[in-house]
Structure 1
Amino acid sequence: MSPTSATPSAALLALKSLLGQVPQLTPADVEIFVAQWRKAMRLPRGEFLIRPGQAEHHLYFVHTGLLRIYFPAGPEEICVGFGYESSLLCSFPSFVTGQPSEYGIQALRGSELLGISRSDFLAFVEQNTNFARFWRAELERNLVGRIEREIDLLLPDPAQRYQRLLARSPTLFQRVPKKYIASYLRMTPETLSRLR
C-alpha cells in the first residue's frame, strides 16, 4: 500500500503550536513558515516514508504515529533512531547532500506527517535570521545527541547502554516496541528483557 494524502488542518495547527513555543520566532514568522508545509501524508503501519536508495527531498513534521529510522546491514536492520509525535524527521544525510539515502524510514504505527520541500525549507532559512538561529541551535542539540549515541555504542556493558538511554529518553520505552529498542542499543531482545 502506498502513502496517502492526509487532511493537513490538525497537523498544521500542531506544527503552528510547536513553532509558537520557539522564542526566536515571531507570530508572523510562524505563519509564513507553516504555509510552506504543503505535503500532507498518511502512512499505514509498515509503509515506508523513504526506502534505502531513494533521495530525500522533504523534511517532515510527525503529527501522529511512530516511525523507525534504520540502516540495512545485510540480513540485519540496525535501528538508528525514531520519529514520534511533534518531532521533525528525514533521512538527514540525503536531505543535506541530495544523494540517495542509505537509511530507510518506516511507520511502526499508522502515522500522519506534514512535509516541506528541501528548496522551500532552505529558502526560508536563508531569508529569516530568527529561524536560522533556531535551526542552528536544533542542529547543535541533535549533534550532541548523536555524540551521546556514539558513546553509548562504544560501551561494552549492555547495562550501561540501557541506563544511559533510559536517563536520556525514558518515554521511548513506553512508545517503541522492545525489539527496535534492542536493535537501537545493539543487543538482543532477550538481553533487553533481562535488563528491564
Structure 2
Amino acid sequence: MIMTTDFPYDWFGTAEKFFSSTELAVLKQIHATAKHLSVPAKTVLLEESKVADRLYLIRKGCLRLFFFNDGKDITFQFFFEGDFVASFDSLYNRQPSLFSLETIEPAELSVIKRDDFYNLIQRMPPLRQAYEEKLIERFRTYQKLFLSHIKNTPQQRYEELLKEHPDIVRRIPQHYIASYLGITPVSLSRIRNRH
C-alpha cells in the first residue's frame, strides 16, 4: 500500500552527495510542492501506454523502467537514490509512455505533478538547468547501452556493468539484470560463475 509520509527535512543533509549546492537549494524549494510517498516493492508507478503526469525523486530504494515485447518483460534502466525518474517524453509531450516504471525495493519518493514541475522550471533557471543536465545524462546512458548491445558480447556487457554500476549487481535481482543485458538468467549465471 502506498502511504503519504512527511520526510524529515534533514534528508537534504544526506543528499549533498547526490546534488550540487545549487541543486540542493532548488530541491528545498520543491520540497513544499512535492508529495512524499512510502511505496512497497513491486509497485507500478506508471504503466506502459499511459500518459505520465508525475516526476519522481528517489530518496531511498530503486526503480526500473521496463516494457513488454512479445509477452516478455524487458528491463532497460535502473534508478537509485538521488535520481529523478519519469517517462520524460511522455511527460513533456503528453503522449502515451513507451514503458512502465516500477519499484524494485521499498521506496521513499518525492513526487511532483507535471504542471507544478513545469511551472517551477519556468520560474527557476537553476532547476531548468538541472533538468536539462539530467535529460542529457539519460540520453548518454541510452546511447551507451545501445552501442554496447551492438558492439559487445554478453560477457563484456556484464563486465562493463560490474565496473560502472556495482550497485546494480549488488541490489538488483538476477532476472532483471539478465533482461537488462539482453540474455537469459541461465546465461547470466554462467557468466557470473566465470568471475
Task: Report the TM-score when normalising by structure 1.
Answer: 0.86
Asked if 1:56 corresponds to 2:28, the answer is no
What pairs up with 1:21-100 in 2 under 5 angstroms? Answer: 21-25=19-23, 27=25, 29-37=26-34, 39-100=35-96
Aligned residue number for residue 18 of structure 1: 15
Report if aligned partners of 1:79, 1:183 keep a CA contact under 8 Å in 2.
yes
Deviation, 1:156, is 5.1
Residue correspondence of structure 1 range 1-196 to structure 2 within 5 A: 3-10=1-8, 13-14=10-11, 17-18=14-15, 21-25=19-23, 27=25, 29-37=26-34, 39-155=35-151, 157-196=153-192
Misfit runs of 4+, over 3 Å: 23-27
Shift of 1:25: 4.2
CA distance in structure 2 between the partners assigned to 1:75 and 1:53 by the alignment = 15
Distance 1:62 1:145, change over 3 A: same
CA RMSD of aligned residues (A): 2.2
Deviations 1:21-62 (A, max 9, x none): 4243474x443222221x222322222111122211010012
Contact kept? 2:12, 2:24, Cα under 8 Å: no
Provide the rounded CA distance (Å) in 1 between the counterparts of 2:22 and 2:62.
Answer: 28
Unaligned runs of 5+ in 2: none
Change (3 A) 1:23 1:173: same
Unaligned runs of 5+ residues in structure 1 are none
Q: 1:103 to 1:16 in 2, by over 3 A?
A: farther
